[in-house]
């Protein structure tokens, strides 16, 4: 089973489509549904996060990074690409 097969299975499971229907989709529709599926799942996960989800994560920055990574998948339009500045870099 390759990556494409797994993606097809994920779409079938999430949307309730038949494999034949997904395999006949054009590439643009397939990608739109696949990305939409991940955004929907990430938004649902954000709604489910509570303080009990972090019992062993004592580092506040680790909690923030986890939340930000899921938020970035759920709402990519809120993260604009920009040039990295030297102030963004940590100097050692």
Question: Tokens in use for 5?
Answer: 């097969």
Burial class (CB in 10 A: 0-12, 13-18, 19+), 48: exposed
| Entry pTM | 0.63
35-44 pLDDT, tens digit per residue, is 999 989 988 8
6-62 pLDDT, tens digit per residue, is 999 999 999 999 999 998 999 999 999 999 999 899 888 877 776 566 666 667 777
pLDDT at 88: 47
């Amino acid at each position: 089973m390759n990556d494409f097969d797994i993606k097809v299975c994920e779409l079938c499971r999430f949307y309730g489509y038949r494999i034949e229907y997904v395999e006949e989709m054009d590439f643009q529709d397939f990608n739109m549904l696949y990305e939409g599926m991940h955004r929907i799942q990430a938004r649902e996960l954000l709604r489910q996060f509570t303080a009990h989800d972090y019992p062993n994560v004592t580092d506040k920055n680790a909690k923030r990074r986890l939340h930000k990574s899921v938020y970035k998948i759920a709402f990519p339009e809120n993260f604009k690409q920009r040039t990295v500045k030297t102030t963004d870099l940590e100097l050692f």
